[in-house]
Structure 1
């Protein structure tokens, strides 16, 4: 099947395809810069930061499977990251009462302090990367994207 490559016509769907490609390019550019900054300034990775973000939002801790669900990654990926964070004293594992197989993962005090340092830098990096977007534009875009997300989630739930 050959794709048509002629000029786009209003309403032919190419506008939405171009929009998706712009979203993707923008997201990848921002993510690449965040990865570089995390490595350079904290000698860490984005997946490690993401695990710490998830744990910071659940101060009572999360089971390993819950971390995987929150981050939408495999348990295997999370296990390796949690192993390294544990060995550095940034998180701790505790047994889940009533479930001998499950472990709950929590940030340690040291982990919380390190996360707060990284999160503050992350916020500054995002502010810098999106400096050309006004507060009003950011709010408008966020509102529209939230609507897209809610619509997609509703369709997926059917």
Structure 2
């Protein structure tokens, strides 16, 4: 391995560390303040963005998880009255899931705190830092 290759590997390890630390902090916040989990928050966020609802397959693709994982979270949300499943255009084989009014309210309360936690995690970064990071990550994500 050359020096640049080693530096890229070290950067990757650092990125993983930062990501895991931030994710752990957000998991702890959601558990402590909202008695919920990060996967549940992620499902609610996806449903909040798509108010007209999504199929379970669409939800799985949006979240990059298996249908089984998405179904388990939606089952719990539905049991708690935060989401509901409905047959699409009367076709009981095609089900859409969406947040209930209670789910929308609950998610919006969680999202406000979640944003504040993310803001605190990155509080030592200014506008120029964030712009640079966004550009670097965009370039790093391009695979040719």
1:33 to 25, 39, 45: 25
Q: Which runs of no fewer than 5 residues in structure 1 stay unpaired?
A: none
C-alpha distance in structure 1 between counterparts of 2:140 and 2:7, whole Å: 16
Counterpart in the other structure of 1:117: 109
**Which residue number corresponds to residue 76 of structure 2?**
84
1:2-151 superposed matches below 5 A: 10-11=3-4, 13-97=5-89, 99-149=91-141, 151=142
TM-score (norm 2): 0.94
- 1:109-142 Cα offsets, whole Å, 9 max, x none, are 1111111100000000011111111122112101
Paired with 1:10 and 1:47, the residues of 2 have a C-alpha distance of: 38
Partner Cα separation in structure 2 for residue 47 and residue 22 of structure 1? 24
> Aligned-residue CA RMSD in angstroms?
1.5
What is the aligned length? 144
Query: 5+ unaligned residues in a row in structure 2: which ranges?
Result: none
Instruction: Give the Cα separation in 2 of the matches to 1:81 and 1:127.
Output: 27
Looking at structure 1, the residues matched to 65 and 58 of structure 2 have their Cα atoms a distance apart, in angstroms, of 10
Using the size of structure 1 for normalisation, the TM-score is 0.86
Q: CA shift at 1:143, angstroms? A: 2.0
Give, in whole Å, the separation in 1 of the partners of 2:10 and 2:94.
45
User: Which structure ranks higher in relative contact order (CA pairs < 8 Å, sequence separation ≥ 6)?
Assistant: 2
Task: Provide Cα deviations, 1:27-81, integer angstroms capped at 9, x if missing partner.
Answer: 0000001001100000000000000111111111110111110111111111111
Name which one, 1 or 2, has greater alpha-carbon Rg: 1
